[in-house]
Structure 1
Amino acid sequence: MSDNKVLASFDEIRALMQEVPGPDISAGADATARQAQLTKPAGSLGRLEEIAAWLATWQGRHPAVVDRPYTAVFAANHGIAARGVSAYPAEVTKQMVANFINGGAAVNQLCALSDADLRVYEMALEEPTADFSETPAMTEEDCVRAMAYGMMAVEDNIDVLALGEMGIGNTTSAAALCTALFGGTAADWAGRGTGIDDPTLARKIELIDQAMERHRAVMTDPLEILRCVGGLELSAIAGAVLAARMSRTPVLLDGFACTAAAAVLYAIDPRALDHCMVAHLSVEPGHQRLLETIGQTPLVDFGMRLGEGSGAAMAILVLKAACACHTGMATFAEAGVSGPA
């Protein structure tokens, strides 16, 4: 997925999405058959059983493994941040990137715990997108280039890809994406993000509603919506999700902003996120609404809202648990245990 020519235009992205592989039904069936022979009542491991079969289905092999997990965090700045929609200034994006590089963030600790490689991708931090309440956030060229960058971040021979983002103002962009993609008003999707007060939340909602009206005529499809109200890091996440599908790599999506970015692909084709699981439920109110819309159930609900891939990195441990039980447990025959009558 390193060929930039693949993503020269939105039309070529749409064409690529017609070529994505489907599930490996045989590998999934092998996983399900093994589950039935393990020393436990049927279904007693709950979602761990579902995860083991899902991993096999999308890795295209049985048994699935999570020996080489990979976490990619994309960082970019948003022009809308200058309108005061966050509790933090835009320079925090760059400062947090330095914190990631120095190993001081939550995602660093969680990746170390799960033995996941962590890569942070800076995306023109000195050049934020345009203020989307006044003008489209990106040109088609910029949006496509960001998606291509995200695609190139998907390395070969990884077992699962955990995705995250860093960008002051990106919950405003995420709420705008969801409003444009799935309807409703900004008040239905916008939350407090970094912990904003009531007047700031009201301004955030007003600016999103203003953007919906300003760009209504050109929001003709999901990629145009991404261009108009998205961000560089959100575009990169969409590209990474697409590249992961092409390479048969299961994906863990982090919270609201990350899921909103991936939902652009869902809006093009509802099957586009079948190789993805949402790691956790963000306390952002729009996240629950979004998960219901795209038919996803988060793996955990710990009341998190940090972003930076922290929930996705943590969920790698859940996937490891699913694989360990699936491959390590004895079958009834191996253990000399009587099966169900």
Structure 2
Amino acid sequence: MSLAETALPFTDIRNLVKSFPGADEAALAAVRAREAQLTKPAGSLGRLEEISEWVAAWSGNARPKVTRPLVAIFATAHGIADKGVSAYPSSVNRQMVENFAAGGAAINQICRINDIGLKVFDLAVDIPTPAITEEDAMDEANCAATMAYGMEALAGGIDMVCLGEMGIGNTTVAAAVLMALFGGTAAEWVGRGTGVDDQGLVRKQAAVEAAVARLNGEKDPLEILRRIGGREIAAMAGLIIAARLQRVPVIVDGFVTTAAAAVVYAMDPAGLDHCLFAHVSAEAAHERALQIMGKTALLNLGMRLGEGTGAALAAGLVKAALEAHNSMATFADAGVSGKDA
């Protein structure tokens, strides 16, 4: 795969998904063998042990490490935001991009304390996509090009990537994508997002119903993505695909990033095995999406900010898990008697 491509037709993207590699079983076995020798009862670190195995399996490293983690925030604008579905105006998009650059957002602080890189990708943040109730968000060429752009986020030796997003109205778009992919009603998928009031919630549900109805039963994941998705969802789906091909573990953030992951899942149910789901969002339908895909989030902190904040927090736990695995003494090293001694 050449990440220099500026536009990949959907047929090429489907072929990339078909070529997904599996886990590195040798690296996984090596981590499990070392885990059994560490100075602790077997399984006593719970999911931290699973995290070490996950990084080894998908990085191909028998002594798994993360040295260049990145939070990649994809920012864009949605025409549906002008339909009264959000508590905030679209002008916030540019203002928040500037806030990220100035270091003033929540994600800046979380990245700093956890020593994680941060990069914001501006996906035409001043030019909204058409309102998905009335027109397709993208044509095939633009959608594929945006997915290819997302793939480029791995440039520079990134060895773990955390998905983040920002775009007023994007919980509406995410709900529409998830409803189209997984079925159900708008009421089951639509939440309050950034804090929309009761009337706004009704408008939001109506918008999602209208957008999905416009698909006329379309079930192709890439067609759903281009017609009722958004640029940030397309870019994150592309990044998930590229990360699998390059053996880079991915941490998925909240509701909107999960919609991007769901597009890949709908193409290949095993296509998210290299992904860790960071947290359960306060957006109620997030848990529904995770259950459908058979995923269990690492954290549940009642968060609904986006920006990759939950993913960055989870990345801190990943780093702690790897440090424990790699730096703990074994029973032999420490002269501690094992269970069967």
**What SS does the aligned partner of 1:313 have?**
helix
Query: Match of 1:256?
Result: 255
**Contact in 2 for aligned 1:138/1:227 (Cα 8 Å):** yes
The residue type paired with residue 228 of structure 1 is R
The number of residues matched between the two structures is 339
Question: Would you say the 8 A contact 2:181–2:219 is kept in 1?
Answer: no
Task: Tell me how far 1:157 sits from its aligned partner.
Answer: 2.2
> Is structure 2 residue 194 aligned with structure 1 residue 183?
no
Q: Which amino acid aligns with 2:5?
A: N
Partner deviation per Cα, 1:158-182 (whole Å, 9 max, x = no partner): 2210110000000000000110000
Asked if 1:2 is matched to 2:3, the reply is: yes
> Aligned with 1:216: secondary structure?
coil
> Match for 1:334: what amino acid?
D
Q: Which residue of 2 aligns with 1:60?
A: 60
The answer to whether the Cα contact below 8 Å between 1:136 and 1:215 also exists between their aligned partners in 2 is no
Alignment of 1:324-335 (within 5 A): 324-335=323-334
Distance of 2:67 and 2:209 partners within structure 1: 45
Give 1:214 deviation, angstroms: 1.6
Identical counterparts, % of pairs: 54
- Tell me the distance in 2 between the aligned counterparts of 1:220 and 1:318: 36
Q: What amino acid maps onto 2:10 in structure 1? A: F
1:163-204: CA deviation from partner (whole Å, max 9, x where unpaired)? 100000000000001100001011111100000111111110
| Corresponding residue for residue 46 of structure 1 | 46
1:119 partner amino acid: K
Name the SS of the counterpart of 2:36 in structure 1. Answer: helix
Query: Normalized against structure 2, the TM-score is what?
Result: 0.97
* Equivalent-residue separation in structure 2 for 1:70 and 1:131 (angstroms): 31
Classify the secondary structure of the residue corresponding to 2:154: coil
Q: Counterparts in 2 of 1:9-158, with a 5 A limit?
A: 9-158=9-158
User: CA offset at residue 156 of structure 1?
Assistant: 3.9
Q: Deviations over 1:221-253 (max 9, x none)?
A: 000000111000110000111111111100001
1:136-160 deviations in whole A, cap 9, x for unaligned?
1111111111101100111242221
Aligned to 1:303: 302
CA distance in 1, matches of 2:257, 2:300: 16
Give structure 2 stretches of 5+ with no counterpart: none
Secondary structure of the residue aligned to 1:37 is coil
Residue in structure 1 matched with residue 266 of structure 2 by the alignment: 267
Distance in 1, Cα, partners of 2:116 & 2:48: 20
Q: Compute the TM-score of the two structures, normalised by the length of structure 1.
A: 0.97
Indicate the RMSD between aligned Cα atoms, in angstroms: 1.0
Runs of 4+ in 1 over 6 A off after TM superposition: none
- 1:328: how far off? 0.9
Q: Give the C-alpha shift of residue 220 in structure 1.
A: 3.6
Note the 1:218-229 alignment, pairs <5 A.
Answer: 219-229=218-228
C-alpha distance in 2, partners of 1:312/1:282?
Answer: 11
